[in-house]
Amino acid sequence: APEGDRGPRHSQKCLQDSSGSMQAPAAGAMSHERAGCPSLRSLTEDCMRLNPSFAGIALRSLLAVDLWASKRLGVCAAEGSAWGGARPLMKVVEVSGHGLPWLLGTAYGLCQSDSAATREVLLNLLFALLLDLVLVAVVKGLVKRRRPTHNKMDMFVTISVDKYSFPSGHATRAALVCRFVLHHLVLAVPLRVLVVLWALIVGISRVMLGRHNVTDVLFGLFLGYALYSVVEYCWLSPLSAPALFALWSS
Ligand SMILES: CC(C)=CCC/C(C)=C/CC/C(C)=C/CC/C(C)=C/COP(=O)(O)O
Domain of 129 in residue numbering reads as 76-249
Q: What is residue 40's predicted lDDT score, i.e. its pLDDT?
A: 74
Shared domain for 85 and 209, answered yes or no, is: yes
63, part of any domain: no
pLDDT band at 248 (very low <50, low <70, confident <90, very high): confident
Flag whether 230 is in a domain. yes
Residue 70 lies in a domain: no
| Cα separation, 250 vs 36, whole angstroms | 79
Judge if 43 and 134 occupy the same domain: no
Q: What percent of the chain has pLDDT above 70?
A: 81
Do residue 96 and residue 178 come from a single domain?
Answer: yes
Higher pLDDT, 46 or 222: 222
* Spatial contact of 201 and 89, defined as CB atoms under 8 Å apart: no
Average pLDDT, the chain: 86
139: in domain: yes
**108, 212: one domain:** yes
For the chain, how big is the Rg over CA atoms in Å? 27
Whether residue 59 is contained in a domain is answered as: no
Question: Which residue out of 133, 161, 209 has the highest number of ligand 1 atoms within 8 Å of its CB and is therefore the one to mutate?
Answer: 133
What percentage of the chain carries pLDDT values higher than 90? Answer: 74
For ligand 1, atom 13, name the residue with the nearest CA: 158
Residues 169 and 213 in one domain: yes
32: Cβ contacts below 8 Å, ≥ 6 apart: 14, 15, 38, 39
Tell me: do 202 and 126 sit in the same domain. Answer: yes
- The Cα–Cα gap between 51 and 220 comes to 32
pTM score, whole prediction: 0.81
Catalytic residue among 10, 98, 150, 170: 170
Residues 30 and 145 reside in one and the same domain: no
- Report how far residue 250's alpha carbon sits from residue 4's, in angstroms, rounded to the nearest whole number: 77
| Number of separate domains in the chain | 2
Claim to verify: residue 28 and residue 91 sit in the same structural domain? no
Ligand 1 atom, smallest distance to 162 CA: 20
In a domain, 114, yes or no: yes
Q: 127 and 215: one domain?
A: yes
pLDDT in tens, 191-239: 999 999 999 999 999 999 999 999 999 999 999 999 999 999 999 999 9
Position 24 scores a pLDDT of: 40
Q: Are residues 124 and 243 in the same domain?
A: yes
CA nearest neighbour of 212 among 15, 115, 77, 64: 77
Contacts with 22 (C-beta within 8 Å, 6 or more apart), sequence order: 15, 16
Asked if the structure places residue 106 within a domain, the reply is yes
Q: Is residue 135 part of a domain?
A: yes
Catalytic residue at 10? no
Distances (CA, A) of 177 to 84, 89, 119, 225, 240: 28, 21, 17, 9, 22
